Amino acid sequence: SSREKLYEFLSGWLGGPPLYVERRGHPRLRMRHMPFEIDDAASNAWMICMMRALDDCVEDALLREHLRGAFQRMAHHLRNSGEFERPEDPG
């Protein structure tokens, strides 16, 4: 299921056990998303969904903000259509 795959991916992506990689191999996110047009509108819509999910599911404000930043970088990384600027590297 999508929920299980997301759990497995996030586990490894956030520094826990690499469950997704162990069970399914490297996620290859850009390659898997290439068949789909991901422009600014699609990226922003995904971020709205993720922010709502974080607001609903993550009580710790610091963790929530950390995850928002990580998801925002991922949303920018997966865009493959339209004109856009890459976000500045904060560090």
Predicted pLDDT of residue 63? 93
Angle between helical axes of 61-78 and 40-57 (0-180°, round to 10): 160
Please report how many Cα atoms fall inside a 13 Å half-sphere around the Cα of residue 90, on the Cβ side.
5
Q: Which residue has the higher pLDDT, 87 or 26?
A: 26
Buried b (16+ CB within 10 A) or exposed e, 48-67: eebeeebeeeeeeeeeeeeb
Q: Say which amino acid occupies 7.
A: Y
Q: How many CA atoms lie within 13 A of 74 on its CB side?
A: 16
Across 7-45, b (16+ Cβ under 10 Å) vs e yields: ebbebebeeeeebbeeeeeeeeeeeeeeeeebeeebbee
pLDDT at 84: 55
pLDDT for the residue numbered 70: 92
* Residue pLDDT, tens place only, 18-73: 999 999 999 998 999 999 999 999 999 999 999 999 999 999 999 999 999 999 99
Q: Region 2-25: what's the mean pLDDT?
A: 93
Average pLDDT of the segment spanning 68-88? 82
